[in-house]
Amino acid sequence: MRPKLVLFGDSITEESFGEGGWGAALAHHFSRKADVVLRGYSGYNTRWALKVLGRAMEGVCPDGVAPPAAVAVFFGANDASLPDRCSGFQHVPLPEYQSNLRAICAYLRERWSSTVIILITPPPIDEDGRLQDTCGDNSSGLPERTNESAGAYAKACVAVANELGLPVIDIWSKMLQFPDWEKSFLRDGLHFTASGNSVLFDEVVKKLGDEGLSLEALPVDLPYLGDMDPNDPLKSFCD
């Protein structure tokens, strides 16, 4: 049976199977090698994610089926919303954010002890892009998210990963290494463009490879056409 790669996160995960999305790219990359399972919940923070975690994972691996090979946990963009602005109801204080990440990881480890858990930090924020978006707090002239806040939550996510001995993708720091990241990678100051999706896709593939889940390391599901005997193709399907 093919191994499963589970993507658990907020809107950046939920829309990752859209055109040019990083989840769709993973599904294509691992075709015939692994199944990518989407568990994205737009607008969710870690408090809500922890509350629904059991239900979210229902059906991923029924009893008797091998556990997922990996779960990517990608929350923090909503937690980092500023508490005194229009998205304040999504805000989660920094210490609770870290506590929630620990609890999510503990649940996954207890349920699937062999599963690789990869934490992904929140991405950077283009504050001008947020002001142009209808979700921004345009009435006050201030964005509902700032890059400074996102960076603090990104550092907190990395700290939790290091504490728990888990692999982590610091997408906040990675994107800041590129010129014009604000408009190149973020279409509305928060959600990814095709280029932003590509950056995260590359980082996820690298991290999975570091954990022994590279394309080369995974067995193919059923023979390739080129490996079949043209004189007796059915022989390829014998146990």
In 105-222, the DSSP E strands lie at 116-120, 168-169
Return d(Cα 47, Cα 79) in angstroms, integer.
8
Active site includes 29? Answer: no
Active site includes 170? Answer: no
Alpha-carbon torsion, ordered 182, 169, 109, 153, to 10 deg: -50
Q: 99, 188, 195, 214: which one is catalytic? A: 188
Structure tokens belonging to residue 118: 């990869």
Q: Are strands 35-40 and 70-74 parallel, antiparallel or unpaired?
A: unpaired
**For 9, phi and psi rounded to 5 degrees?**
-170, -160
Q: How far is CA 100 from CA 50, 85, 153, in A?
A: 7, 23, 12
Q: 10, 137, 170, 191: which one is catalytic? A: 191
Active site includes 195? Answer: no
Residues acting as catalytic residues: 11, 188, 191
